[in-house]
Amino acid sequence: MIILLKKFTPLLIAPFLLLSMTSKKNVDFSGEWKLNESKSEMGQYAPIVPLKIKAEQKADALSITKTSPGMDGGGEVTASETLAFDGTPVETKVAPGDSKRKASAKWSDDGQTLTITYTLMLDFNGQATEVKGTETWALSNDGKTLTTTNTSTSSFGENTYKGVYEK
């Protein structure tokens, strides 16, 4: 019996080792983040890139509140959404007018980045424009810097900007 136990012990332990090596831990984006303009690459989007992001992460979802400059140059605009990690699309109303954003979130295989895929239906005084894009979130190793890369395609062409945020 002892000889059999010695022979089969590695076979019994192997599944547990494999599970512990392959289980991933998603990074936690929770916190209040402020845009570092000098480290960001905003290009023509500088006037609308969120200045602050507040993120509250739970096991199954990420609640995001973004504060951006107002379109008219005065005041601020706040937009909030809660994205489930199971990829379920969420629709939220955004400014201006009757504009809407439909978005879903998905973790990378290693749990180190989150990709938000979205469709934005903009309504400017009855003129509808569809914007499709992705927003990728990545956290620095020390957890103090959040980098978001936003790539979109619309009738305005393809555009990309990168926001670097610090706690």
In order, the DSSP letters of the chain are -HHHHHHHHHHHHHHHHHHHHH--------EEEEE-TTT-B-GGGTTTS-SEEEEEE-SSEEEEEEEEE-TTSSSEEEEEEEEETT---EEEE-SSTT-EEEEEEEE-TTSSEEEEEEEEEEEETTEEEEEEEEEEEEE-TTS-EEEEEEEEEETTEEEEEEEEEE-
Domain presence at residue 4? no
Among 2-6, 39-43, 137-141, the range scoring the smallest mean pLDDT is: 2-6
Say yes or no to pLDDT of 72 above 80: no
Structural domain boundaries enclosing 116: 24-166
Domain presence at residue 89? yes
- The count of structural domains within the chain is 1
The pTM score is 0.82
> What mean pLDDT, rounded, does the chain reach?
86
Domain presence at residue 12? no
- CATH number of the domain where residue 67 is located: 2.40.128.20
Q: In the beta sheet, which residues pair with residue 163? A: 148
pLDDT 10s digits, 128-140: 899 999 999 999 9
